[in-house]
Amino acid sequence: MPETHAYIEDWPLLAEFVLREHGIMEALDDKTAAANRPVKTDPRRTLTLLAPGLGVAVGGAVVAIGITLLVRGLSPLLVAIAMGLAARNLGLLPERLTAGLTVASRVPLRLGIVVLGLQLSLQDLAALGWGIPILAAVVVAGGIFGTLGLGRILKVPTRQSLLVACGFSICGAAAVAGVQGVVDADEEETVTAVALVVLFGTLMIPSIPLLAGLLGLPSDAAAVWAGASIHEVAQVVAAGGIIGGTALATAVTVKLARVLMLAPTVAILSWRQRRSGAVAGKKRPPIVPLFMIGFMVMVLLRSTLPVSTDVLAAATTIQSFLLATAMFALGTSVRLKTLLKRSGRTLALAGGSTAIVCALGLAGALIIT
């Protein structure tokens, strides 16, 4: 994402900047923009310019989800990314879709994170005792710092390492999305991190239960290990179901304790970005982005008010749709040749990050169960 509009939250203004940068709207007042005065926008005109790209992204998400309903075991996020990549690299997307796709790659990501908060109940975490929050904090902190250190050794770019670190240590694609906007990562870095989250997290679904059996772990320890190690909530659900018994509820609750670490992580990164922005003369992001406030509000709602299973199921569907929409849009921004150039070291980093998180999760499971 170009730095010019990296932190603009007003989507009509974002659209104007995107259109200007791609030469679509040559009628913009360059003098006004150069003087940093507000650019007046016509909402109807902006919507007309954004609608084609937004419509394509939404359609891509619908198709991706439909495919996963027909072919069980596929991730809608991975399918959406693959579709977006194919559409871009086969030359199927005209330039006029760019503005809408750019907005679709950002806004749904943030909304998806907000909806994710409904999955987390503080009471469920408290019922498992203080060992679980401590384990979550250790896994997240150890996973992030360990991955960043490994990234320096492998000479992977810092922003790419940070996206992988947060995605693997916290909550997968949602964490990548939350961090991406704060550190101003580009779309290729974001898509790479999300694709690796899906790939390695999927491999962990059968691996954790199998390794737990080989190690002779009881089901409660295996459940804690799965929740503390696997990347996506949906992947934890699948692994918990394989382990059986009460493992599913335990694994998901442990996983959601890691999800709760997303808010303080983004706040810390925002604070660091504000400091660096002040030095570079750039516009500084808020310490706590608005979408993270929405996430915490949803956590509090789930923790203080009764929420029916139907509402939770609907929220899960909405979250999947929002993230699939964003993943399709992100996929359309990536040139495959450029992505493949950086895959070797980044793939090694993803493998190492998975090993770090798994080791920390296993050690914690053995200690607290």
What amino acid is encoded at 112 in this protein?
A: G
Helices (H), the chain: 11-21, 30-34, 43-70, 76-89, 98-104, 107-116, 122-127, 131-154, 158-166, 173-183, 187-214, 219-229, 233-243, 247-260, 262-280, 290-304, 309-332, 336-341, 343-368
Structure confidence at residue 34 (pLDDT): 39
Structure confidence at residue 150 (pLDDT): 96
Contact 164, 151 (CB under 8 A): yes
Structure confidence at residue 127 (pLDDT): 77
Question: Encoding tokens for residue 285?
Answer: 């992001």
The number of angstroms, rounded, from the C-alpha of 62 to the middle of its chain's C-alpha atoms is 19
Structure confidence at residue 263 (pLDDT): 83
Contact 170, 137 (CB under 8 A): no
Structure confidence at residue 349 (pLDDT): 95
Helix (H, G, I), strand (E, B) or coil at 349: helix
Assessment of whether the complete model's pTM goes beyond 0.85: no
Among candidates 245, 256, 268, which has minimal Cα distance to 178?
268
Q: Distance between CA atoms of 226 and 212, rounded to whole angstroms?
A: 9
Give the CA distances from residue 242 to residues 212, 293, 354, in Å, rounded to whole numbers and listed in that order: 11, 35, 20
Structure confidence at residue 339 (pLDDT): 59
Task: Annotate 26-72 with DSSP letters as a single string.
Answer: TTS-HHHHHTTPPPP--HHHHHHHHHHHHHHHHHHHHHHHHHHHHST
Per-residue pLDDT of the chain (369 residues; tens, 9 = 90+): 433 333 334 444 444 444 444 444 433 344 334 344 444 556 777 777 888 889 999 999 999 999 988 887 677 877 887 898 889 888 888 888 888 888 887 788 778 878 877 877 788 777 777 888 899 999 999 999 999 999 999 999 999 999 999 999 998 877 887 888 788 777 778 888 887 887 788 788 889 999 999 999 999 899 999 999 998 876 787 788 778 767 777 887 888 788 888 888 888 888 887 776 543 445 555 556 677 688 788 889 988 888 888 998 898 889 889 888 987 887 787 666 665 666 688 999 999 999 999 999 999 999 987
